[in-house]
Amino acid sequence: MADDLRPDSDQNPALRRAALVAGPLLGLALMALPAPGALDLAAWRLAGLIAWMVTWWIGQAVPLAATALLPVPLMPALGIAPVAQVTQSYADPIIFLFLGGFMIAAAMQRHALHRRIALAIVAAMGAVPARITLGFMLATAFLSMWISNTASTVMMFAVALPVIGFVGENSPDDARSRRFGVALMLAIAYSASIGGVATLIGTPPNALLASVLATSHGIEIGFGRWMLIGLPLSVLMLLACYLLLTRLLYPLANLMPDGADRVIARERAALGPMRRSESRVAIVFALAAAGWMSRGALDLPLSDAGIAIAAAIALFVLPAGGGTGAGAGRLLDWRDTAALPWGILILLGGGLALATGFERTGLAEWIGGGFAFLDEWPLWLLVMAVAGLTLMITEVSSNTAVTATFLPILGAVAIGMGLPVEWLMVPAAMAASMAFMMPVATPPNAIVFGYEGMRMADMVRAGLWLNILGVGLITLVMWLVAAPVLGL
């Protein structure tokens, strides 16, 4: 589960100050100009508001979630949409799906279930360097399908450090041990981003896509249906990442000394036997996941959001099973929710408010008409161009902000070309989670960049190749998987 709210301290203070002033100036300047052609005045004012918000998002002039609240006062004041309609976007069902997912993740972290799952996966892979790397990748990717990619990266980072330290202490070749450390850290960061693509709650762009498709185009993509598309892409990307890191860029043969598996064993032993609280959280989590994946086939009366909230309520109701600390009281306490990434929920709501404005004012239709020349492009090239452009912009900006801005526009462009909107919107949402080159691109990248052996060139080189592979695999999955699943 991705949380792409990077701290303001990551951005240059001068750039933040410039963006703070430039945002409203640019927006108001656009609004003061005459609306072009037959474009409605409300649509032109919405364009000005979008310019303001995008400038603040890119420059991180204020926290991203605070920028996402601008539609609440400004869309009604500018005559774009009434406040009741604007605020509905901040209570969209997809918001509650994410809220329930956040609470399940909080319970897993409170009772250390996520750590037990991760260590079990790593231990099962054996002590060969490439296998250990694969184990860390699978564990990180699996956790990121359900919990924050930041939390999963921080945890796996902490588990990886003693393994890297053991190799460094017992290897006569410092260059080889550094190569292993870099490969393992990059594998963790990249897997955290890749894993989130597999589920609707894994990363905000997926959730935004599902909601915009439902509200603006009447197309429903449920949890299980998305996994039929997202999971194959995640598997292919993980395989490509594994081969790239361990076979091409950082070969790991003849490196690992005996005893590395004991490092992992010590970490597992420190957890002790599984407590009742862990097993109960695991049951709730498994039931929720099963409900999400089988809801359509079983024709369940609950929506994906309903299943998520039902699971969250169960965590507040069920006893933890005795003991002290995390084992006392209920499986989840309201105090545990203080650390939830509430800002992401607001950011999602702001993106949906903009999407609603696009449709209400006719701005989407006007923009779509301006891209009629793309009819001459082959569809495969158009899909690849959308994925590549989205990915490049995400390297320097919030993936949620990028998709919130792009999805309504791409939907309009597709309609203007006579294409099903999924052909352009789905690859954009996928690509928004595939930024691997820069430390500021994602929280996982920033975390592993703190590893002392990591250099900027390491991340840029590996990330560039993985970005290229990502664009190609997204295009391939659109043709071979998404098209038949979505009936395109």
Say whether pLDDT at 473 is over 90.
Answer: yes
Residue 426 in any domain: the answer is no
Give the residue numbers spanning the domain of 132.
Answer: 93-339
Q: Is the pTM of this model over 0.95?
A: no
Give the whole-angstrom CA distance, residue 358 versus residue 371: 16
Give the whole-angstrom CA distance, residue 295 versus residue 268: 35
Cβ–Cβ < 8 Å for 436, 470? yes
Residue 349 in any domain: the answer is no
Tokens 């069902």, located at residue: 93
Q: Give Dmax (Cα) for the chain.
A: 73
Query: What pLDDT score was predicted for residue 238?
Result: 94
Q: What pLDDT, in 10s, does the model give residues 308-347?
A: 899 999 999 998 876 555 555 889 888 888 878 788 788 7
Give the whole-angstrom CA distance, residue 198 versus residue 234: 6
Say whether pLDDT at 234 is over 90.
Answer: yes
The two structure tokens encoding residue 227 = 């996994």
Phi-psi region for residue 451, left (φ > 0), alpha (ψ -120 to 50) or beta?
beta
**Beta bridge partner(s), residue 319:** 330
Cβ–Cβ < 8 Å for 364, 411? yes
Give the number of other CB atoms < 10 A from CB of residue 224: 18
Residue 444 in any domain: the answer is no
Q: What pLDDT, in 10s, does the model give residues 27-62?
A: 999 888 887 877 788 888 988 998 898 888 877 788
Q: What pLDDT, in 10s, does the model give residues 262-284?
A: 777 777 788 788 888 888 988 99
Residue 328 in any domain: the answer is yes
Query: What pLDDT score was predicted for residue 6?
Result: 46
Closest CA to 182 of 250, 244, 255: 250
The two structure tokens encoding residue 472 = 């190609």
Residue 146 in any domain: the answer is yes
Residue 220 in any domain: the answer is yes
Cβ–Cβ < 8 Å for 407, 355? yes
Residue 189 in any domain: the answer is yes
HSE-up of residue 71 (Cα within 13 Å, Cβ side): 32
The total number of structural domains in the chain stands at 1
Task: Give 186-207 as a DSSP string.
Answer: HHHHHHHHHHHTTSTTSSHHHH
Give the number of other CB atoms < 10 A from CB of residue 444: 31
Q: At what angle do helices 113-124 and 260-271 cross, to 10 degrees?
A: 150
**Which residues, 6 or more positions from 463, have their beta carbon under 8 angstroms from its beta carbon?**
435, 436, 437, 438, 441, 445
Residue 322 in any domain: the answer is yes
The two structure tokens encoding residue 267 = 């970490």
Average pLDDT score over the chain:
82
Q: What pLDDT, in 10s, does the model give residues 402-432?
A: 788 788 888 888 887 888 999 999 999 999 8
**Beta bridge partner(s), residue 330:** 319
Query: What pLDDT score was predicted for residue 484?
Result: 93
The two structure tokens encoding residue 306 = 């309903």
Q: What pLDDT, in 10s, does the model give residues 130-182?
A: 788 888 898 889 888 887 777 788 778 877 877 777 766 666 666 777 888 88
Cβ–Cβ < 8 Å for 192, 148? no
Say whether pLDDT at 369 is over 50.
Answer: yes
